[in-house]
Chain A
Amino acid sequence: MLVDRINSTARKLPAWMLYVILPLPALWFLYLGLTGGLGAEPIKALEHELGEFALQLLIAGLAITPLRRHAGINLIKFRRAIGVMSFVYVALHLLVWLVLDVQVLGQIWADIVKRPYITVGMAGFVLMLPLVATSNNWSVRRLGPRWRKLHKLTYAVVLLGAVHFLLLVKGIQLEPLIYLAVILLLLALRWRPQRQNQTA
């Protein structure tokens, strides 16, 4: 069975591998940007590639629970690495925006306050900070049940990321809508109605 093969392969692979593999796209984008491979406007292209990959990683992290629950595929041990790397990509995306794109320090704060898509994006970044700070065994032990509660913030982060994308394009475009639909589907899949007799 395919599911068994995936599960047994996943068991053999160490989770730290993702910390080696997942940075590679960033290096590749940077190489392309420096050598003309990102087209005539490499700054926007690099910014967009990093942001889109971050969103894809966030979605991958969101897919782990539904995959286990509905398909029997267990990739839970990779979830922390995926989450941490999604933060790294969001941070790189933000860094390119600050240093290469906006450049003018005075304009950065004005943009964050005045431009809804930037406000939304920044909110997503800020909400990731407590998540990445507690992505270690010590925090899980120390926070106990509160850790699970805290990490439900991920849902807000992913939604903010998708809305950020939707708000920044001109007109109604298909790509951000597809991302938003996939996220809503993954969130709907993990929603389980409370059992009736629970409160009885």
Chain B
Amino acid sequence: MAHRWKNTLTDRDVTEESVYLNRRQIMAGLGGLGLAGIAGTTARAASEDLEPNSWEDITSYNNFYEFGTGKDDPARNAHALTTSPWTVKIDGMVDKPGDYAFEDIMKAMTVEERIYRFRCVEAWSMVVPWNGFELADLLNMAGVQSGAKYVAFETLYRPEEMFGQKYPVLDWPYVEGLRLDEAMHPLTIMATGIYGREIPNQNGAPLRLVVPWKYGFKSIKSVVRISLTDKEPPVSWNVAIPREYGFYSNVNPTVDHPRWSQATERKIGGGLFARRQPTLMFNGYEQEVASLYDGMDLKKFF
């Protein structure tokens, strides 16, 4: 089931940051000479502003309240987290429930690169070159039973390493959920790396969900449990503030957050004078995922 989806953002194969950086320098050089056009698709991708963010941006500006509520708190505090050994409990309506060791999962999965837009509910965004495997492959490994309709996820609860869990900002542990068809969609991955390197703790090591057409908080980090169920599972931000955060949380420029507009976003990394850019329906993945929500009132199911 791997390789079901190919990046349309850019067709370059970014495997190493250095290679990518070199290429960007070359592109910058070409641009200066007015020759960018000859580089074809890369130039097109660049014109759509789909340059991946730097490793520095991606790993220093994070929301991971288990390590503090400031954007720079996770990068400062997440080193305290022990990610080895790591097991993921897969249970509920599956044929082979059990505790799966992270290493065993990695042996069975095909890791590929996915360059995705990442849109936070707070109206900022990044482009991240993830490495990961399709969640569908993991779920199929455990064998999804026919009655299952939803997938519930849970983050590690370990207050002695995740000091933020000592404060009642949210009802710990952090939980998230997807409808089964969303979970099985080829765009939905479990990320284990960024820029070909191991995913850093502040980004959700050793493995995290990435659902690129939903607001970032749906992409739950440091996952220890995946449960198949026939009922819509509770999700942390909806439990905390139901008026502001729904179960679906699809990126949608026409449905505002009660406290701010979702029509535009600012891409991280543009400095003090960065312009806002329009937010795209389903974060630019409308073609791939809109059919999942046919006939649904997206203002009601926000």
List residues of A whose CB falls within 8 A of some B CB.
Answer: 33-34, 36, 39-44, 46, 100, 103-104, 107, 110-111, 115-117, 167-175
Cα A13 to Cα B71 with chains together (Å): 39
Q: Which residues of B contact A46 (CB under 8 A)?
A: 272
Which residues, 72 to 131 on B, are CB-close (under 8 Å) to A?
72, 122, 124
Cα A34 to Cα B72 with chains together (Å): 18
Find out whether the CB atom of A40 lies under 8 angstroms from the CB atom of B61.
yes
- Closest partner residue, chain A, to B263 (CB atom): A107
Find out whether the CB atom of B274 lies under 8 angstroms from the CB atom of A43.
yes
Find out whether the CB atom of B259 lies under 8 angstroms from the CB atom of A104.
no
Which residues, 264 to 284 on B, are CB-close (under 8 Å) to A?
264, 266, 268-269, 271-276
Q: Does B254 contact A (CB under 8 A)?
A: no
Q: Does B8 contact A (CB under 8 A)?
A: no
CB distance from B202 to the nearest CB of A (A): 12
Find out whether the CB atom of B261 lies under 8 angstroms from the CB atom of A43.
no
Cα A103 to Cα B265 with chains together (Å): 11
List 8 extra interface pairs beyond A169-B69, A171-B169, CB under 8 A. A39-B72, A43-B274, A104-B276, A110-B261, A111-B261, A115-B260, A170-B122, A172-B169
Q: A39-B60, A103-B275, A103-B276 are in contact. Are A174 and B260 (CB under 8 A)?
A: no
CB distance from B67 to the nearest CB of A (A): 14
Find out whether the CB atom of A173 lies under 8 angstroms from the CB atom of B69.
yes
Find out whether the CB atom of A100 lies under 8 angstroms from the CB atom of B273.
yes
Q: Does B167 contact A (CB under 8 A)?
A: yes
CB distance from A190 to the nearest CB of B (A): 31
Find out whether the CB atom of B60 lies under 8 angstroms from the CB atom of A40.
yes
Find out whether the CB atom of B240 lies under 8 angstroms from the CB atom of A171.
yes
